[in-house]
Amino acid sequence: MPVLVMKFGGTSVATLDRIRRAAKRVGVEVAKGYDVIVIVSAMSGETNKLVKYVEETSPLFDAREYDAVVSSGENVTAGLMALTLQEMDVPARSWQGWQVPLQTTGTHANARIESIPTDNIAAKFGEGMRVAVVAGFQGISPEGRITTLGRGGSDTTAVAFAAAFEAERCDIYTDVDGVYTTDPRICEKARKLDKIAFEEMLELASLGAKVLQTRSVELAMRYKVKLRVLSSFEEMNDAAGTLVCDEEDIMEDKVVAGVAHSRDEAKMTLVSVADRPGIAAAIFSPLADAGVTVDMIVQNISEDGRTDMTFSCPTNQVSRAEKAMEEAKAAGAINFAAVKADTGVCKISVVGIGMRSATGVAAKMFKVLANEGINIKVITTSEIKISVLVERKYMELAVQALHDAFELDKA
């Protein structure tokens, strides 16, 4: 029988009643003839509670014990989902990560999936079981310790199962009804997309559209898993949600698919850095060692052998970045006049695979922002994305203006 993967996030299994509603959706797919693999998150709030326990117990925790603790919420929902399905006379059982066994790397708290053996679950499907309920987010390391896949990791569990079982589709049930052209809370003209290309989704996910874990999109793209994002709070419907798929499967020929924004950006500038070969490495190696996630990097034109180096990083990493720079200066690795942090900025991006072949998108974007009187502080581009840093007070205005200019409200 064809296999379908259905993933339910924390809000979709937050109570016994919601688990029942999710199980009914599973029952509908079983009745259609699918063998279903259900991936469940922990009841919403549970994982946060466990993370708090760990952090209060041990601020610099052993990540192996962190994983042993925080993975337990998914075990509860997996068992309850299996029981709920059994109550509906759907033959089901639960699997924890180690029972599959879902093998991962040994990078605790942020492990990557290495392999998913299918024999065990496939054999049970062969014996008449119709639903395998798998605890998301968890696996085991080469040493046999429990690992977790990072926040949002159940999305990646779902896609990996879909790839391993060559599932017809991977449905991600969440609390939003799909992927939007932009954040509907900021721009009321935001429109739900019926389809979006993997590459676009990847950019949007890494730009802060928190619908899917970035890694799950990468994995879906690599293994050509048809991925659908839909709400567990709306009527079931084969056309519901947003399908994340190959660009060949998308009919629309919009150049820009969406506008993303991120509040959580700070702009850091090293003033008057000696401009010499190797200076970039001398700056960014200590930042990487200090765990600072550098996003955009801009180097100004050099004057008199000195230059300004600007980069962006998450707001809560500013003091860590400053400390790393001062230490590198003290150690004689770099030299600069001052390090300035600007936390009053935000990042606005336009994303679309059509930008590969279209020209003038960047020019249009800059003109739209100029017309609104918005000054651009930093620019970076990729093949299918243009991002700018602007003052945070202009965030809503910039998003709305760009959404209008690229006519994203029109299908």
Q: Quote the least distance from Cβ 319 to a second copy, whole Å.
A: 24
Q: Binding to a second copy (CB under 8 A): which residues in 7-36?
A: 16, 19
Does the annotation list 175 as a binding residue? yes
Which residue type is seen at 109?
Answer: A
Does the annotation list 8 as a binding residue? yes
Q: Quote the least distance from Cβ 120 to a second copy, whole Å.
A: 9
Told to check if 111 binds a second copy by CB under 8 A, we report: no
Pair of tokens at residue 368: 């739209």
Q: Which is nearer to a second copy, 59 or 373 (CB)?
A: 59
Q: Quote the least distance from Cβ 141 to a second copy, whole Å.
A: 11
**Cis bond leading into 101, ω under 30°?**
yes
Residue 297 contacts by C-beta under 8 Å, 6 or more apart in sequence?
280, 284, 309, 310, 311, 380
Told to check if 44 binds a second copy by CB under 8 A, we report: no
Pair of tokens at residue 296: 């955009």
Structure letter (DSSP) for residue 180: B
Which residue type is seen at 182?
Answer: T
Q: Quote the least distance from Cβ 320 to a second copy, whole Å.
A: 23
Q: Which is nearer to a second copy, 98 or 233 (CB)?
A: 98
CB atoms within 10 A of CB 143: 8
Q: Residue 345: beta bridge partners?
A: 265, 391
Q: Binding to a second copy (CB under 8 A): which residues in 215-254?
A: none
Q: Quote the least distance from Cβ 83 to a second copy, whole Å.
A: 4
Q: Which residue has the tokens 């199980």?
A: 23
Q: Which is nearer to a second copy, 72 or 285 (CB)?
A: 72
Long-range Cβ pairs for the range 141-144 (8 Å, 24+): 141/104, 141/105, 141/106, 141/108, 141/111, 142/103, 142/105, 142/106, 143/106, 144/98
Q: Binding to a second copy (CB under 8 A): which residues in 57-76?
A: 57-58, 61-62, 64-66, 68-69, 71-73, 75-76
CB atoms within 10 A of CB 127: 7
Told to check if 128 binds a second copy by CB under 8 A, we report: no
Q: Quote the least distance from Cβ 304 to a second copy, whole Å.
A: 52
| Kind of pairing between the strands at 258-274 and 306-313 | antiparallel
Told to check if 93 binds a second copy by CB under 8 A, we report: yes
Told to check if 132 binds a second copy by CB under 8 A, we report: no
- Give φ, ψ of 235 to 5 degrees: -55, 145
Does the annotation list 185 as a binding residue? yes
Instruction: By CB under 8 A, name the one of 1, 31, 45, 87 that touches a second copy.
Output: 87
Q: Which is nearer to a second copy, 94 or 317 (CB)?
A: 94
Q: Residue 230: beta bridge partners?
A: 173
Does the annotation list 195 as a binding residue? no
Q: Quote the least distance from Cβ 20 to a second copy, whole Å.
A: 8
Q: What is the DSSP string of 258-326?
A: EEEEEEEEEEEEEEEEE--TTHHHHHHHHHHHTT-----EEEPPPBTTEEEEEEEE-GGGHHHHHHHHH
Does the annotation list 106 as a binding residue? no
Contact predicate 252/411, CB 8 Å: yes
Does the annotation list 105 as a binding residue? no
Told to check if 86 binds a second copy by CB under 8 A, we report: yes
Q: Residue 312: beta bridge partners?
A: 267
Q: Which stretch binds a second copy (CB under 8 A): 85-93, 103-111, 175-183, 344-352?
A: 85-93
Told to check if 51 binds a second copy by CB under 8 A, we report: no
Does the annotation list 210 as a binding residue? yes
Q: What is the binding site for a second copy (CB under 8 A)?
A: 16, 19, 50, 53-54, 56-58, 61-62, 64-66, 68-69, 71-73, 75-76, 78-80, 82-84, 86-87, 93-94, 96, 98-99, 144-146
Annotated binding-site ranges for substrate: 47, 74
Residue list, annotated binding site:
7-10, 47, 74, 174-175, 180, 185, 210-211
